[in-house]
Amino acid sequence: METLSIPAAADLSAAKYYFVKVNSSGQVALCLDGERPDGILQNKPAAAGRAAAVQITGESFIECGAAVTAGDELAPDGTGAAITAVSGDEVGAVALGSGTGDGSIIRCIVKPTGGVAS
């Protein structure tokens, strides 16, 4: 597992275990639908400039935005939560467990720059 400390672009205190990306200012922001995830947020930085712990490899938890099944490739939804990737989505992780729906927290394998779902 590898976790990097990068300044947050905004208050991310409600985004623990969500997909994040590094923005053009070199700060961590939520990764939204259609964007390429760089990792999964591991803490709750409460203001811009605070250290965001971003896990970029290994096993992590992730919060689901919909039901997912173990083995699914995962991509961010419109809030940064994990959903099952569909053709053309940027893959950020693979589910190690099944989630019953919005707000479920499951284990996953982090796959930054994991490619595009087929």
Residue 21 included in any domain: yes
Expressed as residue numbers, the domain containing 105 is 59-110
Q: Do 6 and 51 lie in a common domain?
A: yes
Residues 52, 14, single domain; the answer is yes
Q: Is residue 31 part of a domain?
A: yes
Give the pLDDT confidence score for residue 112 in this predicted structure: 66
Residue 56: pLDDT band (50, 70, 90) is very high
Do 32 and 8 share a structural domain? yes
Q: 14 with 45, same domain?
A: yes
Calculate what percentage of the chain has a pLDDT beyond 90: 90
Positive or negative torsion for Cα 42, 17, 107, 60: negative
pLDDT in tens, 71-100: 999 999 999 999 999 999 999 999 999 999
DSSP 38: -
Classify residue 79 as exposed, middle or buried by CB count within 10 Å of its CB (0-12, 13-18, 19+). middle
Is residue 39 included in any domain, yes or no? yes
Q: Is residue 74 part of a domain?
A: yes
Q: What's the domain count of the chain? A: 2
Of residues 116 and 103, more confidently modeled? 103
pLDDT at 65: 97
Q: Within 10 Å of residue 24's Cβ, how many Cβ atoms?
A: 7
